[in-house]
Amino acid sequence: MPYVKSLGIDAVEQSRRARLGLVIILSRSELRRLPSHRRIVFMEHGVGASYNGGSHLPERSDIVAVLTTEAQAESHRALYGERVEIVGCPKLDAWYGWKQEPHPRPVVAFSHHWDQKNPPEARSSWPWDADAIEAIAASGEYKMIGHKHPSDKRDIARWCDDRGIEFVADWRDVMRRADLYVCDNSSTMYEFAATNRPVVCLSPPWYRRDVEHGMRFWSHMPGINCSDTGDLARCIRIALRDSKTQQAKRTRAVKAAYGLADGQSTERAVHAILCARTSVY
């Protein structure tokens, strides 16, 4: 999984050294690389996304535990029953209770999903919004910083550099610095919202309005929706005002996403992993 690799961790190599007899993975793409005869624990690396109404995991007898979020628990239970445990998002524990004083000149971060092609809702909004972002940056009203999904091969960093926009590769730095986050479809939108800061959700024309996948599409959006790039500047201004109505919607979206966002997700995950050592299915 790209995020794990960016931290210098090879999940498969670590599994070969493990003494627990378990392999812990964060992405279904790792399944094909695993050594044989291993017991697998799957942990959501973000909110989790499903576009087919079911689990995004295949049905496998060697998956002995699925550690997940509120958003994906029901779909996983259809395949894995009592092996599914809602733990929340351990990645967010370090941010629980974190507060940031707003900057006099707001820091606005933008990012995009990698262009996954199928389904349309997994596609990137870039470069649909590029001209609007460039114009907002040129206005000088905000300090703009750019970011991108670790699976995105496009050279957005160079695009930012050519326009005098700072590119920030590490998501943790974006979390520390930004007052507002603009993005299309990513778990990072919910992570940012979980710190009680505003989000603008980019919705390009190819995101189907008559399809309901849940969460981002469209029942629990973590921020203000922007369907027209000409309206992006106004959406940012409204989002930065952060009305009580907007705060309430964000709180509901975060609860729907994680279920448990109390700083104890790592503890729950460790307990579930230790229990999985002796489980029999």
- The string of pLDDT tens digits covering residues 185-194 is 999 999 999 9
Tell me, yes or no, whether 219 and 272 share the same domain: no
User: DSSP H helical segments within 102-231, as ranges?
Assistant: 130-139, 156-162, 171-177, 187-193
Per-residue pLDDT at 157: 97
Tell me, yes or no, whether 86 and 127 share the same domain: no
> Residues 58, 47: contact at Cβ < 8 Å?
no
Tell me, yes or no, whether 56 and 25 share the same domain: yes
- The angle, 0 to 180 degrees and rounded to 10, between the axes of the packed helices 232-241 and 130-139 is 60
- Longest Cα–Cα distance of the chain, Å, equals 61
> Residues 105, 142: contact at Cβ < 8 Å?
yes
**In the chain, how many domains are there?**
2
User: DSSP H helical segments within the chain, as ranges?
Assistant: 2-6, 11-17, 70-80, 130-139, 156-162, 171-177, 187-193, 232-241, 244-258, 265-276
> Got the DSSP string for 30-78?
GGGGSPSS-EEEEE-SSS---SSSS-SSPP-TTEEEEEE-HHHHHHHHH
Low-confidence stretches of the chain (pLDDT beneath 50): 1-3
Q: Examine residue 281 and state whether it is found in any structural domain, yes or no.
A: no
Tell me, yes or no, whether 9 and 121 share the same domain: no
Tell me, yes or no, whether 142 and 232 share the same domain: yes
Tell me, yes or no, whether 223 and 266 share the same domain: no
Tell me, yes or no, whether 74 and 196 share the same domain: no
Q: Examine residue 83 and state whether it is found in any structural domain, yes or no.
A: yes
Per-residue pLDDT at 14: 57
CA nearest neighbour of 193 among 211, 169, 216, 170: 216
Per-residue pLDDT at 123: 95
Q: Examine residue 201 and state whether it is found in any structural domain, yes or no.
A: yes
Phi and psi (nearest 5°) for 26?
Answer: -115, 0
> Residues 211, 217: contact at Cβ < 8 Å?
yes
Tell me, yes or no, whether 227 and 270 share the same domain: no
Tell me, yes or no, whether 127 and 222 share the same domain: yes
Q: Examine residue 125 and state whether it is found in any structural domain, yes or no.
A: yes
Q: Examine residue 245 and state whether it is found in any structural domain, yes or no.
A: yes
- Tell me which residue range forms the domain holding 66: 2-94+261-276
> What is residue 214's DSSP assignment?
B
Tell me, yes or no, whether 81 and 182 share the same domain: no
Per-residue pLDDT at 1: 42
For residue 178 the two structure tokens come to: 């930004």
Per-residue pLDDT at 2: 46
Mean pLDDT of the chain: 90
Q: Examine residue 185 and state whether it is found in any structural domain, yes or no.
A: yes
For 67-94, write each residue's pLDDT tens digit.
999 999 999 999 999 999 999 999 999 9
Tell me, yes or no, whether 146 and 57 share the same domain: no
Phi and psi (nearest 5°) for 50?
Answer: -135, 130
Tell me, yes or no, whether 175 and 235 share the same domain: yes
CATH code assigned at 205? 3.40.50.12580
Q: Examine residue 12 and state whether it is found in any structural domain, yes or no.
A: yes
Q: Give the amino acid at 273.
A: I
Non-local (6+) Cβ contacts of 197 within 8 A are 100, 178, 179, 180, 181
